Structure 1
Amino acid sequence: MMRTGIAELPLHTGHVPLWLATRMKKLAGIVLKLLIEEYGTKGLLERLADPVWFQAFNNLIGMDWDSSGSTTVTTGIIKEALNELDLGVKVAGGKGKNSRKTPEEIKGIAEKFELDPGEYIKVSRLVAKVDNVALQAGYQLYHHTFFLDEEGNWAVVQQGMNVKEKLARRYHWFNSDLKDLENPHSGISGIRSDFALNTVDKDMREFQRTVVEIAQEGRRVMRDLETVKAMVKGYAVFYKPRDVDVKEIYERYESLGKLELNARALEFMRELEIKDYSTFLLIKGIGPSTLRALSLVAELIYDVKPSWRDPVTHPPDPFKFAYALGGKDRVPFRVEKETYDDLINFLGKLSESGNKYLLKAVKRISEKWKFPEKEKVPTF
C-alpha cells in the first residue's frame, strides 16, 4: 500500500565535497550490509522503494532533507557501495547520460546473477515510459536507477524535473505487476498538482484499451484530432459532445504540452497489431505529445475519459534522521567530520561483532524523540 502525504523536492545546485562523499560511501556500505543481514536483499529493495525510508536514509548519510539532490546523490552513493560489496544486490543507471547506460549495465548484472537480462531491460524501459508518458504532470525524467538482486527482485528509483516550477518528483517501484498497469508505483514523492494526466490510475483498463484501439486506426484518428481542434475554434462539425466544455478540456491537455500524433509510430502499431497497453507504451515514437492527443480524442470523440488524479504519495518527511550527522547545507546543523568518523567506526565494529541488540536498544530510544519543528527550514 502506498503512503500518503506531500513533500517538497526543490531543485538545488552545488555538489557534495569529496571529504563528505567519501564518508557517505563508507557509512552507506555498513548500513546496507546490516540491513541485508537483518532483512535480506528483498527487504533492502522494499525499503529503497519506500519514499519515506529512502528519504530517511538520505538524511542519515548527511544529504539535504528537502533537495532534488537527495535522489541523485543518494542513489549514486548506494550504487558505488553495492557494486563494490558482494551482498547480492547490484545497481544500474543514474543521472543524465548515466541513465542511458542502464540496459548495458543491467545485462552485466543479470548475467552475473544468472538471470534473463532481457526481462529486466524491458522492465527498466517500461517504468521509464510510464513516468514520462503514461503519467504526465509537467515532469521530464532525467534520472533512472535500477536495483536488482540475485533472486530476481527489482526496484526502481527515478526522478523527473519540472523546470518551470523548479521542482523535482521522485518515483519508486518494487516488483510491480506490469501486465496490468493500474497504480503500479510503490510511492511517489513530490508536490501534488491540481491535475495530472494519469492513464495508469485504478479502473483505467477501458481507457487503456480504447487508446490502443484508436491508435491503430491511422488516418481516422488524425481526422478525429482535427475535428476536436475545429470544435475548439468554434467551427460547426458533424459531431459535438453533449454537456462538455470542449475548450476547457482542450486547454487542460495543452497545458501539459503540444498535442501531436507521431504518424510513423501509429503506422508501426498497425503492422504489429498490438493489443496491450504495456507493449503500446514501449513503441518507439509513442511520447507525451502523442499520448495527449490520443487521450483527447478518446475523451471527446469516444467519451472514454482518463484519470486526472495526481498520484503523489508521501507522509510527513523523516526530518528527524538529519539529526544523526547533520546536513550538507548545515540544516539542522553542519556535518562534523569527527562525529561522522566515530559513527562509521562504531557501526563497523558492531557489524563485525554481529551484536544487534545495542542497535535495537538505540532504536527504542530514538523512536520516542521528536525534533524541534522550528529547526525544519529550507536549505539553499
Structure 2
Amino acid sequence: MLRSGSADLPLHYGYVPQWLYERMSKLGLAIFEVLLSDYGKDEVIRRMSDPFWFQSLGAVMGMDWHSSGVTTSVMGALKRAVNPHSKSLGIYIAGGKGKFSKETPNELLKIADLTGLNGTELVKASKLSAKVDNTAIHDGYQLYTHNFILSDEGSWSVVQQGMNPKDKTARRYHWHSENLKSFVDEPHTGICGKNQGIILDLTAKSAEENRNGILEISHKAPEKIMKEVSLILPSHHDVQASDVNLKRLGAMLAMTREMQPETFEDLLMLKGVGPRTMQSLALVSEVIHGAPSRFQDPARFSFAHGGKDGHPFPVPTKIYDETLEILRSGIEKSKLGNSDKLQAIQKLHEINLKLEENFTPNFDIQEVIEDERKNSWRFGGKTVFGDSKPPEKERLNNGGIQLSLF
C-alpha cells in the first residue's frame, strides 16, 4: 500500500464561521464537478492524496493557508457538499473528526452496498492506514481525524491528521490506493509536518529488519511500497515573500489587473468580470487545471479569497460569491452542451502560463497585501473578528484608493 504524502502544520484553535463554511462547501463542490468533467474520478482521488494540492485547495477556499484547521474544515465542507450528490458524481466521502471518524467502517459498508464494491476490503484499508499512522510511526502524533475518499470504481485516498500537543503542531497523512501493495513498507504518498528529529518509524525502508523480526513472530510478510512526499509549513501566520513563487503570483496579478478580456478572444465569455474577480478565477482555474508541480507554494492560492483570520487579507465575500456564480453558471451551461464559460476559465490558466515565461517580478508582495486590506471593505471583507471597515480617509471623502503595482 502507498501513503502518498504528509504535511506538518501549526496547531490552530478556533472555528470556521458559517458564512465561510457555506461558501467553502459550494466552491468545493464546483471544483469537484469541473475536475470530474474534465479529468475523471481517478484524478479527483489522486488530487486528494497530494498534500500540496490539498493545502492549495484549502487556501483558495478561504481557510488559513497553513494552519491545522485546513484539514478538518476542508474535509467537512467537502463531505457536506459532495455526499448528497454522490450517486451522480461517483465520489463518496466517509469519516471525519473525533467521533465521526469511528463511523468510517459503517459508512464504508453502506457505500459498498450502494456501489457493489468490496466493503470488507475498504474497511480493512481504512483501519490499516489509521493503525500505521497512529501506531507503526512513533512520531508523537495521535490521530484525531480520519477521512476516506473513494470512487464508485474502487480507487480511494485517505486524509487523516494527528496532533502533538507538546510542540503545538499537527501532522496530516495522505494515502492513495494506486499501485498500493503494502501498508508497512513506506506506504505514504506524503506526510506534512515539522521535522521532529529522530523518530521510530517502522514503515521506513531502513526498518525492514525490525519489521521482519516482528513479523516473524506474527507469521506475516511485508511487501515493498513507494516513497512519500512531505510538506512542512512555517509557524508564522502572515504570508511572506518567501512563502510564494513571486514570478507566478506576479504574472497572475499583472494579467488580471492590466489585461482586458478583449485582448484574448478566448476570454470574451468573461467580459464584464472585474479585475479582482478575475484574480480569484485565475487561481481557482489553476487549482483545477494546474500541473502537480504548481502547488509547491500553497500560500499563493490564498490570494484568491484571503483567510478567515485576515491573513493575507480578509475574505472578500462579494468576490467569493461572484466567483461561485460564474463557476456554477458555467457548470450548468456545460451540462446543456455549452461549455464556453468553463473553457474561458481554463484559458485563464493557460494564458497565465505563457505570461510567466518572460515575466520578471518587480513588486513588493506586502504592497499587494496592503492594497487588498485597504480595499477589503469594498469587497465585503470578513474575518472571524468581524467585517472590514473603510480606512479613515475613505470615510471622510468617500474617495478611492488605487495602487499601481505594475
With structure 1 as the length reference, what TM-score do the two structures score?
0.70
Residue 190 of structure 1 corresponds to which residue in structure 2? 193
Residue 343 of structure 1 corresponds to which residue in structure 2? 323
Within 5 A, what are the aligned runs for 1:1-380? Answer: 8-85=8-85, 86-175=88-177, 177-179=180-182, 181-213=184-216, 216=217, 274-276=219-221, 313-314=230-231, 316-353=296-333, 354-355=339-340, 356-367=342-353, 368=356, 374=366
Q: Deviations over 1:337-361 (max 9, x none)?
A: 2111100100111112323321222
Are the counterparts in 2 of residues 49 and 156 from structure 1 also a CA contact under 8 Å? yes
Quick one: which amino acid aligns to residue 61 of structure 2?
I
| Residue range with higher mean Cα deviation, 134-143 or 199-208 | 199-208
State the SS of the aligned residue for 1:324.
helix
State the SS of the aligned residue for 1:161.
strand
State the SS of the aligned residue for 1:90.
strand
Change (3 A) 1:349 1:111: same
Are the counterparts in 1 of residues 11 and 169 from structure 2 also a CA contact under 8 Å? yes
Identity of aligned residues (%): 40
**What is the CA distance between 1:41 and its match in structure 2?**
0.8
Change (3 A) 1:83 1:362: same
Q: Distance in 1 between matches of 2:138 and 2:181?
A: 18
Are the counterparts in 2 of residues 59 and 322 from structure 1 also a CA contact under 8 Å? yes
Change (3 A) 1:79 1:144: same
Q: Deviations over 1:114-160 (max 9, x none)?
A: 11100000000000011011112111110100011111001000000
Residue 245 of structure 1 corresponds to which residue in structure 2? none
Residue 247 of structure 1 corresponds to which residue in structure 2? none
Q: Distance in 2 between matches of 1:80 and 1:27?
A: 12
Are the counterparts in 2 of residues 159 and 168 from structure 1 also a CA contact under 8 Å? yes
Q: Distance in 2 between matches of 1:314 and 1:173?
A: 14
Quick one: which amino acid aligns to residue 275 of structure 1?
K
Are the counterparts in 2 of residues 3 and 314 from structure 1 also a CA contact under 8 Å? no
Are the counterparts in 2 of residues 191 and 312 from structure 1 also a CA contact under 8 Å? no
State the SS of the aligned residue for 1:155.
strand
Q: Distance in 1 between matches of 2:160 and 2:7?
A: 16
Q: Distance in 2 between matches of 1:141 and 1:350?
A: 39
Quick one: which amino acid aligns to residue 328 of structure 1?
K
Change (3 A) 1:175 1:326: same
Q: Distance in 2 between matches of 1:7 and 1:114?
A: 33
Q: Distance in 2 between matches of 1:343 and 1:275?
A: 53
Q: Distance in 2 between matches of 1:148 and 1:348?
A: 24
Q: Distance in 2 between matches of 1:182 and 1:373?
A: 42
Are the counterparts in 1 of residues 7 and 171 from structure 2 also a CA contact under 8 Å? no
Residue 261 of structure 2 corresponds to which residue in structure 1? none
Q: Distance in 1 between matches of 2:307 and 2:157?
A: 26
State the SS of the aligned residue for 1:207.
helix
State the SS of the aligned residue for 1:329.
coil
Q: Distance in 2 between matches of 1:129 and 1:174?
A: 15
Q: Distance in 2 between matches of 1:330 and 1:141?
A: 28
Q: Distance in 2 between matches of 1:345 and 1:112?
A: 32
Quick one: which amino acid aligns to residue 130 of structure 1?
V
**What is the CA distance between 1:82 and its match in structure 2?**
1.3
CA RMSD of aligned residues (A): 2.8
Change (3 A) 1:109 1:129: same
Q: Deviations over 1:238-283 (max 9, x none)?
A: xxxxxxxxxxxxxxxxxxxxxxxxxxxxxxxxxxx632359xxxxx
**What is the CA distance between 1:372 and its match in structure 2?**
5.4
State the SS of the aligned residue for 1:12.
coil
Are the counterparts in 2 of residues 7 and 317 from structure 1 also a CA contact under 8 Å? no
Q: Distance in 2 between matches of 1:160 and 1:26?
A: 27
With structure 2 as the length reference, what TM-score do the two structures score?
0.66
Quick one: which amino acid aligns to residue 331 of structure 1?
H
Change (3 A) 1:68 1:45: same
Are the counterparts in 1 of residues 10 and 170 from structure 2 also a CA contact under 8 Å? yes
**What is the CA distance between 1:366 and its match in structure 2?**
4.5
State the SS of the aligned residue for 2:212.
helix
Residue 281 of structure 1 corresponds to which residue in structure 2? none
Q: Distance in 1 between matches of 2:220 and 2:316?
A: 57
State the SS of the aligned residue for 1:313.
strand
Structure 2 unaligned spans of 5+: 233-295, 334-338, 370-382, 385-406
Q: Report how many residues are paired.
A: 289
Structure 1 unaligned spans of 5+: 217-272, 279-309
